[in-house]
Amino acid sequence: MLVFFKERLAFLSVPKTGTTAYETALRPRADMVISEPPMLKHAPVYRYNRFVRPMFLKVCDAELEVMAVMREPISWLGSWWRYRQRPFMAGKPNATHGISFDDFVQAYMKGKKPGFADVGSQFKFLEAQPNGVGVTHLFRYEDQPRLQSFLSERLDVTLNLSRENVSPEMPLALSADVSERFRRKFSDEFDLYDSIG
């Protein structure tokens, strides 16, 4: 998570949406950088609302706008599946070696997900809170020019991004049947993604 106090902006770090590269590029410009531990680096809206927002509201009398990036849901799961196939993951409980993408998505759809498919939910991460706190500026991972243009203008910076924390390149083969079931069961994910302007 990055906070730019003067600009009244908090940049939430949705996992597997390229935010590590933005964190590296904008670290010198940010007023607050939370890069560890992962549960704070990747604090969802509800955790931001509970812990970070009150700090700025009560101490500084400042309400920040919240920005985040969302990835197309199948691509997002594909990134997790590929990420957990990195060589050093071999033999670890969350590794996806020997598991097809179809099997990974089917495991993700279970009520009690196995560890390797328990990767959270973008919809839940970004969900607005009962007090109205939510994401003010939501960008598609697939539309980097719009995201970069927003940051460049809002922060008055020139971005110099590097590729970081990248999943191995592998083809994503998802059968039509599994894709259809996933789209039906997780329609909230797709509706939110489709709503991004």
Domain range spanning residue 74?
2-195
CATH number at residue 128: 3.40.50.300
**The pLDDT value given to residue 162:** 79
**The pLDDT value given to residue 164:** 67
* Cβ atoms < 10 Å from Cβ of 78: 22
For the chain, the domain total comes to 1
Residues 121-177: pLDDT tens digits? 999 999 999 999 999 999 999 999 999 999 999 999 999 887 766 677 888 889 999
For residue 113, pLDDT over 90 is answered with: yes
Residues 39-90: pLDDT tens digits? 999 999 999 999 999 999 999 999 999 999 999 999 999 999 999 999 999 9
Q: What is the pTM of this model?
A: 0.94
Residue 17 corresponds to which amino acid? T
Contact 82, 55 (CB under 8 A): no
**The pLDDT value given to residue 178:** 98
User: Which of 151, 172, 6 lies closest to 105 in space, CA to CA?
Assistant: 172
